[in-house]
Amino acid sequence: MATTAHGATAPEANTLETCLIKSGATAGAKRPKQTFAQALEQAAAIVAAGTLVVMAAMPGNRDEVGKSSAAANGLTATAAPGRETTFGAYVGAPYHYPSDFRLQTDPANDVTLKKVEWYTNPFNNPLYYGARIQRWSANGTTGAMIDFLHSKAFAPKDQNVKMEGMLDGKPVPESGKIGDVFQKLEFSHGHNMLTLNGLLRFARFSNVIVPYAGVGAGVSLPHSEMQRTTDKGRTYEYQYTGPTAQALFGLEFRLRSGSIFLEYKFTIADYRAPHTYRDGSLFPIDMWSQFSRWWSGDEPPGGWGSTRLTSHQVIGGFLVRFAPETAAAP
């Protein structure tokens, strides 16, 4: 799927302006014409979010339990946290700390770009989004979660950075533009992270507004896009690039059969991306290609691109809850 073109960066006059540019909030930037695949992705995200809102607002069979007592009290019953399974989706915005990016092919081609500023544009296609499945224990306090996050990170070509190392057997200048080395350097169709998390919910004081926290670890599965300025070939494929970890804290606002949640998460992802000069296709095919290359012991022809993406993420979304029915008291 084609990704959007990322426009030129504005001078970083102050911190506020920098944050606005990185999050894609700056007005007036020209956007390329949206492809059918991008429009389909955006429409699917909107439909999924709308479906979750509707499902969260709909009463479930379990709400019939205690219906008479709720009517007597003149209140709408909200189920207390207990054993339940939830399915959710969310959107949000990240901030990535600057990090060094190293491309290492051989002794004659080993260059490091220092303190690369990673931009995000979370509300431009491809969208920033996530999905999760949670399973809570009978006491409603402890649980587990599988969380998938589709974030983005890209380095604009006209960004000035310090450099060190060798290219084509010659020392690189002390500073220059990213475009002097790379035609494209981004993980914009997915700085993807898949994690398994442990959760703790603090439901002692309220059944409606419930704080929770969690920590987890998993794998980075980005869609890597790398191309040197002097190369005709490029790397454009899904890859496994290393481990990732996250810590999170949020508030769950419980409705009759669903929830709205707001959450902050801190993520770290180590990248060691093979520069394969391969145009990939579907995720399973790209993963099989990488596994086959690893199994045969072949090194990627373009070397390895490595960095660490450390990020703050602020997200909001919807959960649909499914809980076992309990028999009404006689």
Residues 29 and 33: their CA atoms lie apart, in Å, by 13
279 located within any domain: yes
| Pair 323, 314: CB distance under 8 Å | no
15 located within any domain: no
29 located within any domain: no
Number of domains in the chain: 1
pLDDT values of the chain reduced to their tens digit, one per residue, 330 residues:
444 444 444 444 343 344 444 444 433 334 444 444 445 555 555 545 555 444 444 444 444 434 433 333 433 456 667 889 999 999 999 999 999 999 999 888 999 999 999 998 888 888 899 999 999 998 888 999 999 999 999 999 999 999 999 998 899 999 999 999 999 999 988 899 999 999 999 877 778 899 999 999 999 999 999 999 998 899 999 999 999 999 999 999 998 878 999 999 999 999 999 999 999 889 999 999 999 999 999 999 999 999 999 999 999 999 998 887 664 444
115 located within any domain: yes
Owning domain of residue 225? 34-62+83-322
Residue type present at position 241: T
Residue count of the chain, please give it.
330
| Pair 182, 156: CB distance under 8 Å | no
251 located within any domain: yes
140 located within any domain: yes
What SS3 string covers the chain?
CCCCCCCCCCCCCCHHHHHHHHCCCCCCCCCCCCCHHHHHHHHHHHHHHHHHHHHHHCCCHHHHCCHHHHHHHCCCCCCCCCCEEEEEEEEEEEEECCEEEEEEEECCEEEEEEEECCECCCCCCCCCEEEEEEEECCCCCEEEEEEEEEEEEECCCCCEEEEEEEECCEECCCEEEHHHCEEEEEEEEEEEEEEEEEEEECCCCCCCEEEEEEEEEEEECCEEEEEECCCCCCEEEECCCEEEEEEEEEEEEECCCEEEEEEEEEEEEEEEEECCCCECCCHHHHHHHHHHHHHHCCCCCCCEEEEEEEEEEEEEEEEEEECCCCCCCC
Which CATH number fits the domain that encloses residue 97?
A: 2.40.160.20
Q: What angle do CA 301, 306, 309 make, to 5 degrees?
A: 145
236 located within any domain: yes
| Pair 133, 87: CB distance under 8 Å | yes
160 located within any domain: yes
Tokens of 292: 């086959």
| Pair 301, 288: CB distance under 8 Å | no
Please tell me the predicted confidence (pLDDT) of residue 43.
52
